[in-house]
A and B are shown apart, each in its own frame.
Chain A
Amino acid sequence: MTRSPSSPGFWRSPLRGPWLTSVLGVVLLGGITVLFVTGLVSYAAYNPNLAPVNDKTPDKGILGFYLFPWPTDPHWLYRLNQGVHVTLGITLIPVLLAKLWSVIPRLFALPPARSLAHALERISLLLLVGGALFEFVTGVLNIQLDYIFPGSFYTLHFYGAWVFFAAFIVHLVLKTPMALRNLRHLREEKDDLVSPRPDPPTVSRRGALWFVGGGSLLLFVTTVGQSFDGLLRRTALLAPHGGGDPGSGPNGFQINKTARYAGIDTAETAEDAWRLVVTGRTGTVRLSRAELARLPLHSAALPIACVEGWSTSDQWWRGVRLRDLAALVGYDDDPPDVLVESLQRRGAFRRAALRANQVADPRSLLALYVNGEDLSPDHGFPARIIVPAAPGVLNTKWVVRMTFGDL
């Protein structure tokens, strides 16, 4: 019966075979490993162990075994990590689709299981394929702000990655030796993927690989530009933060969430209404924006880098050093952690904590100005945090309260 997909003769493509599957598998082995590692690093960048407000997956248990205090050097660390994670993920989509296509006959193979180990391996493959697609789909939807998945992105993408990884390890232990053997011996082995009655070819195997690579290249060149400014950003024709900038002038660079989205009322940020409340060892200090501007001001050139993978080049921020604010409330030589609170009505990071090493860095500012002008409302007027190498959401905008001390 060649009309049933469980019959080998049903599958007619002359391309399928161990060589093609092995090439695609080895590319995914390297690529997905980078995705997994950069994903874990991104989670560490949030400093989830510092304070509950930073941790969207507090039940992580042992899955947070590797966490470490996030450094502030080099200042482009998060920008690079997240740019690689998202851009590489998008670039690998055609490889993943081609890999799944190359092994689809095995989904229908009979008998369903040859042994207990084989039956369990096939269940593991459901976790592998379901997990891979789940991770790619949630990631691709999240960067397009399409929050239709069933829960918080952080929870789904983090735990989903571990479920996937459990199956991925088994798959690579069981299959990598064979894949490498297939690649070393260019002579084609016969296996169940090779069609017993193939159609005449319309493209060679090498041609098919170029085809997949072309798809990856197209996605790459229409995405990667969103990690750069100017003309390069314009080349990211379909990426969410490609195309162009939201404005022109000093405040014209990319915005994560606008003041309107965050529910900021201009009455609250007016000069006579807004006060920064700083609390610490020696009590509480209230400062108007004019008083802040009379404190010693410092500059830092730092990027905005979002978990969604896009980033800006370095912007020239000017404001009060976080460690100087700590000194105002009694921490002269030993800047502690700080809890930063925003005026914003919604958003998962209305409140965010920074670690002592981030507070101590001389480039960490409560910025009042950017590129020589007052911050615009969308970039956090009256004042925002900017910390080297920190994920975008930890650079709290519309800051209203800072509480220094051990969290």
Chain B
Amino acid sequence: MRRPMPRPTLRSRIPVGSPFQLLLLAASFALAGYAGVRLLADDWFGVAVWFVGAALLHDLVLLPLYALADRSVVQGLGATGRRDWAMYVRVPAALSGLLLLVWFPLISGMVDRRYRLGTGLSPEGFLARWLLITAVLFGASALLLALRLRRAAKQRPPAVH
């Protein structure tokens, strides 16, 4: 009979963690597995790509892209000493981008044919409405900035020569 090899270091190297958490996670994975085999039943590869791809695309593409865009706006404004204007650019740009992200199929016209045939409504106008909303957002932001600058100019004491 062979005796099992003693493994003194393993336990200290990989701690197990909270038993409550482990039980909870086991139950969760079991439920996810039960639903998951049904989710993956027809086209497991396509669904897995969409499921994991959604997380990867968000975390590694969308988020870095908008973070970089934001940083370049802040740094660009900072270079001209106008760092505190960042929100006046950020807010309209983000809101406009958000609308584009959510309603991209309608705005881009990629579902035109099915939309017209299905609903009897005209697919034209989504792009125009998005552009107009974007114009209003940036216009309102410019107006607020102009008002702030005017107020600041009025409150500034007259220059002494």
Interface residues of A (CB under 8 A from B): 57, 59-63, 90, 93-94, 97, 100-101, 104, 107, 114-118, 120-121, 124, 126-127, 129-131, 133-134, 137, 140-141, 144-146, 149-152, 155-156, 159-160, 162-163, 165-167, 169-170, 173-174, 199-200, 202-203, 207, 211, 214-215, 218-219, 222, 237-241, 243-244, 246-247, 254-258, 260-261, 378
User: In the complex, how many angstroms separate the beta carbon of B17 from the nearest chain A beta carbon?
Assistant: 3
Q: Are B99 and A238 touching (Cβ within 8 A)?
A: yes
- CA distance in complex: A343, B9 (Å): 72
**B35 CB within 8 Å of chain A:** yes
User: In the complex, how many angstroms separate the beta carbon of B49 from the nearest chain A beta carbon?
Assistant: 8
Quick one: given A115-B15, A126-B52, A134-B50, are A163 and B32 in contact (CB under 8 Å)?
A: yes
**A246 partner residues in chain B, CB cutoff 8 A:** 119-121
Q: Are B24 and A174 touching (Cβ within 8 A)?
A: yes
- CA distance in complex: A181, B50 (Å): 35
A57's partner among B32, B38, B98 (CB-CB below 8 A) is B38
**A174 partner residues in chain B, CB cutoff 8 A:** 21, 24
Q: Considering only CB atoms, which chain B residue lies closest to A199 in the complex?
A: B74
- CA distance in complex: A342, B35 (Å): 32
Q: Are B102 and A163 touching (Cβ within 8 A)?
A: no
Q: Are A93 and B99 touching (Cβ within 8 A)?
A: no
- CA distance in complex: A101, B63 (Å): 7
Q: A93-B101, A238-B130 are in contact. List 12 more A-B contacts (CB 8 A).
A: A60-B38, A63-B34, A94-B98, A100-B58, A124-B25, A134-B50, A150-B50, A155-B39, A159-B38, A159-B39, A202-B83, A240-B106
Quick one: given A100-B59, A129-B55, A170-B24, are A144 and B35 in contact (CB under 8 Å)?
A: no
Q: Are B105 and A141 touching (Cβ within 8 A)?
A: yes
Quick one: given A62-B34, A116-B15, A116-B17, are A219 and B24 in contact (CB under 8 Å)?
A: no
B121's partner among A115, A166, A243 (CB-CB below 8 A) is A243
Quick one: given A117-B22, A120-B25, are A150 and B36 in contact (CB under 8 Å)?
A: no
Q: Are A255 and B28 touching (Cβ within 8 A)?
A: no
**B117 partner residues in chain A, CB cutoff 8 A:** 258, 260-261
- CA distance in complex: A378, B119 (Å): 9
A63's partner among B35, B43, B55, B98 (CB-CB below 8 A) is B35
Q: Give residues of chain B (49-90) contacting chain A, Cβ–Cβ below 8 Å.
A: 49-52, 54-55, 58-59, 63, 67, 74, 83-84, 86-87, 90
- CA distance in complex: A165, B34 (Å): 12
Q: Are B22 and A150 touching (Cβ within 8 A)?
A: no
- CA distance in complex: A145, B34 (Å): 29
User: In the complex, how many angstroms separate the beta carbon of B128 from the nearest chain A beta carbon?
Assistant: 10
- CA distance in complex: A124, B129 (Å): 40
Quick one: given A129-B58, A214-B95, are A156 and B39 in contact (CB under 8 Å)?
A: yes
List, sorted by A's number, 11 A–B pairs whose CB atoms are closer than 8 Å.
A90-B102, A101-B63, A120-B21, A129-B55, A151-B43, A151-B46, A155-B42, A219-B99, A238-B99, A255-B120, A257-B119
User: In the complex, how many angstroms separate the beta carbon of B130 from the nearest chain A beta carbon?
Assistant: 6
Q: Are B111 and A145 touching (Cβ within 8 A)?
A: yes
- Chain A interface, DSSP helix/strand/loop, else mixed: helix
**B14 partner residues in chain A, CB cutoff 8 A:** 115-116
Q: Considering only CB atoms, which chain B residue lies closest to A149 in the complex?
A: B50
- CA distance in complex: A60, B39 (Å): 10
Q: Are A145 and B118 touching (Cβ within 8 A)?
A: yes
Q: Are B102 and A219 touching (Cβ within 8 A)?
A: yes
A144's partner among B24, B98, B105 (CB-CB below 8 A) is B105
Q: Are B55 and A130 touching (Cβ within 8 A)?
A: yes
**B63 partner residues in chain A, CB cutoff 8 A:** 100-101, 104
- CA distance in complex: A53, B98 (Å): 38
**B153 partner residues in chain A, CB cutoff 8 A:** none
- CA distance in complex: A146, B42 (Å): 20
**B142 CB within 8 Å of chain A:** no
Q: Considering only CB atoms, which chain A residue lies closest to B77 in the complex?
A: A202
User: In the complex, how many angstroms separate the beta carbon of A219 from the nearest chain B beta carbon?
Assistant: 7
User: In the complex, how many angstroms separate the beta carbon of B102 from the nearest chain A beta carbon?
Assistant: 6
B118's partner among A57, A120, A257 (CB-CB below 8 A) is A257
Q: Are A145 and B43 touching (Cβ within 8 A)?
A: no
**B1 CB within 8 Å of chain A:** no
User: In the complex, how many angstroms separate the beta carbon of B157 from the nearest chain A beta carbon?
Assistant: 26
**B18 CB within 8 Å of chain A:** yes
- CA distance in complex: A151, B115 (Å): 19
Quick one: given A166-B28, A214-B95, A246-B119, are A115 and B51 in contact (CB under 8 Å)?
A: no
**B94 CB within 8 Å of chain A:** yes
- CA distance in complex: A260, B41 (Å): 33
User: In the complex, how many angstroms separate the beta carbon of A213 from the nearest chain B beta carbon?
Assistant: 12
Q: Are B133 and A121 touching (Cβ within 8 A)?
A: no
**B133 partner residues in chain A, CB cutoff 8 A:** 222, 237-238
Q: Considering only CB atoms, which chain A residue lies closest to B74 in the complex?
A: A202
Q: Considering only CB atoms, which chain B residue lies closest to A168 in the complex?
A: B28
A130's partner among B35, B52, B86 (CB-CB below 8 A) is B52
**A97 partner residues in chain B, CB cutoff 8 A:** 98
Q: Are A159 and B36 touching (Cβ within 8 A)?
A: yes
Q: Are A202 and B58 touching (Cβ within 8 A)?
A: no
Q: Are B25 and A170 touching (Cβ within 8 A)?
A: yes
